[in-house]
Chain A
Amino acid sequence: MKAALGSGGARWALGFLALLAALSLLAPLLPLPSPIALSLRGEPGPPVAPWEELGGEGFRAEYWPLGPLDRRLVELRRSLFGAWQSGPWLGTDSKGRDLLSRLVWGSRTSLAVGLAAALCSLVIGVLYGALSGLAGGRVDEAMMRLVDLLYSLPFVFLVIFALALLEAPRGGWPGISREQVLYLAIGAVGWLTMARVVRGQVLSLRESEFVKAARVLGSSTPRILATHVVPNVLPVAAAYLTLTVPSVILLEAFLSFLGLGVEPPRVSWGLLAADGVSALNRIQVSWWLIVFPSAAIAATLLALNVLGDALRDALDVRGRGGV
């Protein structure tokens, strides 16, 4: 697998993603303006290059409720940088909020949704696929029929449907936060392909020597699952995971556009892109509000796709030869 990452494209992709992850995690530490601090400007401000305006005083520590680690980071930032914050390098939106800051903070949400939902589909998909493959025969057929049935349902449609319904106009669902519903819903969409892929892999593993040997030695099914099947299935699943995350992030962006995704004051890339698109009008062409969020999404997804392709290619070469 390391060999696959040797290819230039995959290295860039990995580097980019690592950088992104670092920025995302360290967001509270960076000397950026608050992502939600409103100003009195009524209209979006264009980007100002760093060499023209590097930054200024005026930092206000306004955030949505943060966790304890993040709060510490903010305090650390205050002691390091004081009231200094970066200038509007990428411009501001119609409420005066800094776009760069919102992009960095938004990456947290987008990446979190991507990972969480993808993990959701990974867990469900791997378990379902592995069980189905191991069980074989009628059970396997039935389980795959169910997958086929669900596949033919306009699932994404139903997810949107469900989310729109849950968007109660008055009050709301007590107990479940919007974000959690989002994770579950998106994860529920993605597990089907994973299940299919895993089942295929398990089917071929079943006929392999060591599983047969384990069976002969009397290992129980859950044990075989845990010690033999899952470790061999994980590489394939990981490769598909890197391809599921992009589609999940896209879905989140989609939902945000429809108003069904992340709720303000929280910020996600999808929300930013959506805001940018709706802000377009003839009088004020605020191009930065679309271009930068789009670029962020495109670059990240591109990197994920490149990485996923490289992983899949690497696995293919091995997989074709034997187990």
Chain B
Amino acid sequence: MALLEVDGLRVRFERSAVDGERIRPVDDVSLRLEPGEALGLVGESGSGKSMTALALMGLLPRGAVLEGGSVRLGGRELLALPERELRRLRGDRIAIVFQDPSGALNPYLPVGLQLAEVLEEHRGIARREALRRSARALGEVGIPDPEARLAAYPHELSGGMRQRVAIAMALLCEPEILIADEPTTALDATLQAQVLELFAQARRARGTALLLITHDLGVVARSCDRVSVMYAGRLVETAELREVFARPLHPYTLGLLESAPRLAREGGARPELPSIPGLPPDLARLPAGCAFHPRCSFRIERCGRERPSLQPFMERPRDAAGGVRRLDGPRRAACHEKERLGALARPQVPA
């Protein structure tokens, strides 16, 4: 039994789209997270990754409605829990760090209070002790002179510091799962590295599992053990990190890897930046069958008719010594042509 098990999660928007079609930002998504592991949830903007995270925590915005599925934390079904129980879990056993560091902190309250209240609420600690521990937490994320910082207001801190504060806030109660929603997008490269290091540190020190939501494959490569790829609200591939990078089974994943900018290789700089042809999907007007097929170079006739489901790609598991390698469930991809992709080693996109 995994730490977090998500099965068939579906979310729809209440207001119908133009033609009466329901918009589903999250359409039959399944995930699995083991204690202490890091899962990267990858996709472009609008693919539904953030909405999935919000749905997990029961924080769907107004207008978005849970349609079905199951989310189990340590075997306990979350979607059926009353709000009061969910509140106990939030910030305590499962915490989230949002993308915009300014968006996570209340501009009218001093930083120390925002940290201390988490401890007061979940652990029943008195204010003074809570503040002391908050200062320590700030120190652990690398904020200099933490005691003085407690009285500061968010606008007095730099963007990078605010993000650290947000991370400290999330880790205060030593959650089992930390969800990070695009934690590096708003930061520059140096800060990105520091933030990722903080996550790694938390994982090492406390065995926190990490659900890292991002569109940046570089971030994934540095921090994650496994990867799940989303497109148009649907899960299209899930596999171990190495496998995804070495041999993607879904054309979209392949496209993502190909379109990541790279520095000059043998023979000089690449003349063009390859990209996935076509436009990002309009959730109100999804094509029949596979959502990606209009942009796909591997498509066959079946792709326009029949929506592919997430199917295991069986392979003889092996490791260096020839023994059975334990996979976290078989590799899965939602593509009718995954076998063809699987047969190629780092296939090139056909012209």
Direct contact between the two chains A and B in their complex (CB within 8 A): no
Binding site for B on A (CB under 8 A): none
